[in-house]
Amino acid sequence: MTTHPELSGDDAPAPLTHEQLRELYALMSAVRRLDTAAVAWQRQGIIPGYAPELGQEAAQVGSGYAVDRTRDFVFPTYREMGVAKAMGLDMVGYMSTHKATWHGGMYNPLESRFAPIQAVVAGSVLHAVGWAHGQTLSCPTDSGVAVTYFGDGASSQGDVHEAMNFAAVMKAPVVFFVQNNGWAISVPTERQVAGGSVAARAAGYGIPSLQVDGNDVVAVYQATRSALAHCRSGNGPVVIEAMTYRRGPHSTADDPGRYRTLEEERLAAGEDPLERFKRRLLADGVADEAFFAEAQRAAEEEAEAIRTGIEELGPRPGAEMFSMVFQEPTPDLQSQATAWREESEHV
């Protein structure tokens, strides 16, 4: 892990206990199984689309596990299922958003501290900086920290430049968490990011940065905790670049075989993060084979329960758009909502 010398904070991360290490593995196992299942659900027509995260479990679980859910707020993209799981979201509610039949979310963003899924590339960074700046205005001595996720491809968007510049100038407590998975859809990082590193760009804004092994869940957790402590101490934003690899397609509509071979994928991906962590826990005597078997069983059981929960959901009421999409409906919208409800009562 490369750490910027200016990164500081009073809340240095304590070593993880054996129980916490086992919990991290169980979370990663659950995410891996649910991710694989979600791809199958899309093929079966249960959900219309999904963005897989195979190979990115450590980056997501490690960072999500570090978040303080009593005061921080996460602003995700469309690929942060592992973060949602690590933060304890209702996974039926989270996965149901992929049905594209909801208005405002099937889970409660305020209670979960996890903003609605953002499909606009780099759109979440602007929301995160706005929320974080609000924190400095309302409670500057004990502010929550915004954690915003985006990829190496999204880092080239103009919105990211504006967000980082504003956050640096205003010392907004934001962790810009970049999952560099090697590909911006079909374009490799070396053709997308000048210089090859998103973290290196942080210096241009006067922001400290960390580049961490994104396939090491403990390293990711520690880096995120350190970054959160830095922000919480009033030092402004931090950029984390987690170096990982997208082992599957960009989405269920993508065919990675068009731009890379299976051999290239195997060589570039390196060691599987789940197997790597398992080997470490075994070597350190933290867990045994019985634990891993139980983690796998629990993951399969949970994935099946989530599938059942999704399939049992009824259609979303059309009138929901009037109460969830618009904060202050216009008179015309209010009359439409009234007409909709009256018509529904007579059906």
Contact 60, 112 (CB under 8 A): no
pLDDT of residue 324: 65
Amino acid letter for position 35: D
Integer Cα distance of 191 and 184 in angstroms: 9
Express each pLDDT in 41-78 by its tens digit: 999 999 999 999 999 999 999 999 999 999 999 999 99
Q: What is the pTM of this model?
A: 0.89
pLDDT of residue 151: 92
pLDDT of residue 302: 98
Residue written as tokens 């987690």?
Answer: 242
Q: How deeply is 10 buried, as exposed, middle or buried, from its count of CB atoms within 10 A (0-12, 13-18, 19+)?
A: exposed
Q: Catalytic positions, please?
A: 246, 250, 259
Which portions of the chain are predicted below pLDDT 70? Answer: 1-6, 8-12, 102-105, 140-141, 316-321, 323-325, 347
- Angle at the Cα of 345 from the Cα atoms of 339 and 347, rounded to 5 degrees: 105
Strands 183-184 and 187-188: antiparallel
> Could you tell me where the DSSP H helices lie in 208-330?
217-232, 262-269, 273-283, 289-312, 320-324
Integer Cα distance of 337 and 341 in angstroms: 6
For residue 306 the two structure tokens come to: 């989530």
pLDDT of residue 237: 97
Distance of CA 218 to the CA centre of its chain: 17
> Could you tell me where the DSSP H helices lie in 117-261?
123-138, 158-170, 217-232
Contact 153, 111 (CB under 8 A): no
Integer Cα distance of 28 and 11 in angstroms: 25
Q: In which order are the strands placed within the sheet that holds 73-75?
A: 2-3, 209-213, 238-243, 174-180, 146-151, 73-75
Contacts of 246 (CB under 8 A, 6+ apart): 52, 53, 54, 55, 56, 181, 182, 183
pLDDT of residue 329: 80
pLDDT of residue 339: 86
Express each pLDDT in 201-242 by its tens digit: 999 999 999 999 999 999 999 999 999 999 999 999 999 999
